[in-house]
Structure formats: structure tokens, C-alpha cells
Amino acid sequence: MLKKFRENRKAAALGLVIMMITLVIIIIVGLLVVGQLSTTADTMDLGASGNATRTSLFANTYAGLNLAVIIPIIAAAGAILAIVFTYLGNQQAS
């Protein structure tokens, strides 16, 4: 499969674009799901221990989603490096 991407650069670029769009959609859907769960869980009375656990759980989940926003940036940086290295490799081969 990687051989096909090396031979067809348009397919590789399309694959990178699809990957970036998919990552952004996954993060947005994850935020929506967690937000809905948070709204639902806030209406429940789970007792002192349950409420503390719920607060900790959602704090950690939101921290993870905040870090997940970095993933598309890192993926884009990797794609840019791949393009630069491919371009430099083609220049030296010529």
C-alpha cells in the first residue's frame, strides 16, 4: 500500500487531507458527547463520593480533549516535513 502512495503523489496528498478532516471531526464529536454526558450527569445526585468522582472524571476528560487538539497540528507538521523531504529528495536525484 505504501508503494502505491509513493507512486501516486495525488493519492498520498488526498489521504493526508482526509486524515486531517477525520481527526478534526473526531475531536468535535468527542467534545459534543462529553458535553452531553456532563449535562446529564450534573442533574444526578450521586452522593458526596459520586459527585467528587464525577467532577474528577470530567476534569480529566476535558484535559485530555484539550490535549487532543494538538494532534491535527502535529499531523500537519509531519505532512509538511514529508513534503519538504520528498521535494529535497527529488532535487538531489535530478
| Predicted pLDDT at 8 | 67
Looking at the domain assignment, is residue 30 inside a domain? yes
User: What is the mean pLDDT of the segment spanning 72-92?
Assistant: 78
pLDDT, tens digit (0-9, with 9 covering 90-100), for 16-43: 778 888 888 888 888 888 888 888 877 7
What residues make up the domain containing 78?
Answer: 17-93
| Predicted pLDDT at 63 | 87
Other Cβ atoms less than 10 A from the Cβ of 79: the count is: 17
pLDDT at 61 over 70: yes
Looking at the domain assignment, is residue 6 inside a domain? no
Q: Structurally, how many domains does the chain consist of?
A: 1
Whole-number Å distance between alpha carbons of 54 and 50 = 6
User: What is the mean pLDDT of the segment spanning 52-64?
Assistant: 86
Count each helix (H run) and each strand (E run) in the chain, helices first.
Answer: 4, 0
Looking at the domain assignment, is residue 58 inside a domain? yes
Whole-number Å distance between alpha carbons of 9 and 26 = 26
Looking at the domain assignment, is residue 11 inside a domain? no
Looking at the domain assignment, is residue 4 inside a domain? no
Looking at the domain assignment, is residue 55 inside a domain? yes
